[in-house]
Amino acid sequence: MARNVYRFKGNFKSFLFILAILITVGFLYYTQLLVEELQVQSREYLNLKVKIFEENINSEESADQGFVFTEIIQTADYPIIYTDAEMTPQFWRNVAIPQAKGPVSPDTLNLLQNMAEEFSKVNPPISISYKGNVLGYYFYGETDIIRQLRWLPFIEILVVAMFILIGYAGFNSIKKSEERSIWVGMAKETA
């Protein structure tokens, strides 16, 4: 009977360990699905904004393209680099490089072109056309919230693992202390 109890404890511990791994993998998978869905929605939203801008500049009745550009494109909360048709950066927003007031240095242009290439690996660039001619391209990256959500499950798992390790160390210390107390008590009784 005692042997069955120990076998049950071992099987139960294995079951709990496998269950914890399955929950962790499920949590990671679900979070990544949410991040991908947010990326798709963000991409569709930016495409819509660019198409509205493009329709406005191609419209015969449009009088104020500057307003549409300012209100639709520049309000983006994700990193954007706008290049001309030759892929030379003209405008950027929410990147680590501040917008230049005067001429842009070749090093800055090179850095922006490299960023645009990195953005194109994540999201395909969106072309801006005027009457069939490509005026430029919008390269855009991930929003801060998507980047944070991408790392969130790993940070949570790390925090939980640290909590478990600290708890295990604490319980192990208590167990050893109790064992020492038992041995001290037995030694006194024997003496």
Give the number of other Cβ atoms within 10 Å of residue 111's Cβ.
15
Interval 69-108: pLDDT, tens: 566 566 777 888 888 889 888 888 888 888 777 788 889 8
Query: Is residue 113 domain-shared with residue 169, that is, in the same domain?
Result: no
Question: Structure pTM?
Answer: 0.62
Residue 64 confidence (pLDDT)? 53
Same domain, 58 and 102: yes
Residues 101, 78: contact at Cβ < 8 Å? no
| 174 in the same domain as 108 | no
Q: Is there a single domain that holds both residue 35 and residue 127? A: yes
DSSP per-residue letters across the chain: -HHHHHHHHHHHHHHHHHHHHHHHHHHHHHHHHHHHHHHHHHHHHHHHHHHHHHHHHH-SS---HHHHIIIIITT-SS-EEEEETT--EEEEESSSSPPPSSPPPHHHHHHHHHHHHHHHHHS--EEEEETTEEEEEEEE---HHHHHHHHHHHHHHHHHHHHHHHHHHHHHHHHHHHHHHHHHHHHHHH-
**Mean of all residue pLDDT scores within the chain:** 80
Same domain, 68 and 129: yes
The burial of 136, by beta-carbon neighbours within 10 Å (0-12 exposed, 13-18 middle, 19 or more buried), is given as buried
**In terms of domains, do 15 and 87 share one?**
yes
Same domain, yes or no: 89 and 42: yes
Same domain, residue pair 29 and 61: yes
What's the pLDDT at 74? 67
Question: Of the ranges 1-5, 31-35, 46-50, which is most confident?
Answer: 31-35
What pLDDT is attached to residue 114?
93
Domain that holds residue 185: 146-191
User: Token match 């855009």: residue?
Assistant: 140
Number of folded domains in the chain? 2
Q: Which of 126, 142, 158 is the last residue of a domain?
A: 142
Looking at the fold, whether 84 and 136 belong to one and the same domain comes out as yes
More confident residue, 115 or 182: 115
pLDDT of residue 116: 93
User: In this predicted model, which residue has the larger pLDDT, 125 or 9?
Assistant: 125
Name the phi and psi angles at 114, rounded to 5: -65, -40
The reply to whether 12 and 31 lie within a common domain is yes
- Output the CA torsion 47→52→58→63 (10° steps): -150
The predicted-structure confidence for 144-177, as pLDDT tens digits, reads as follows 888 888 888 888 888 888 888 887 788 788 888 8
CA dist., res. 43 & res. 23, Å (int): 30
Range with the largest mean pLDDT of 46-50, 111-115, 129-133, 165-169: 111-115
Separation in Å, CA 109 to CA 82, 102, 131, 167: 12, 13, 28, 52
**Domain match, 28 and 96 both:** yes
**pLDDT > 90 in the chain, percent:** 7
94 shares a domain with 164: no
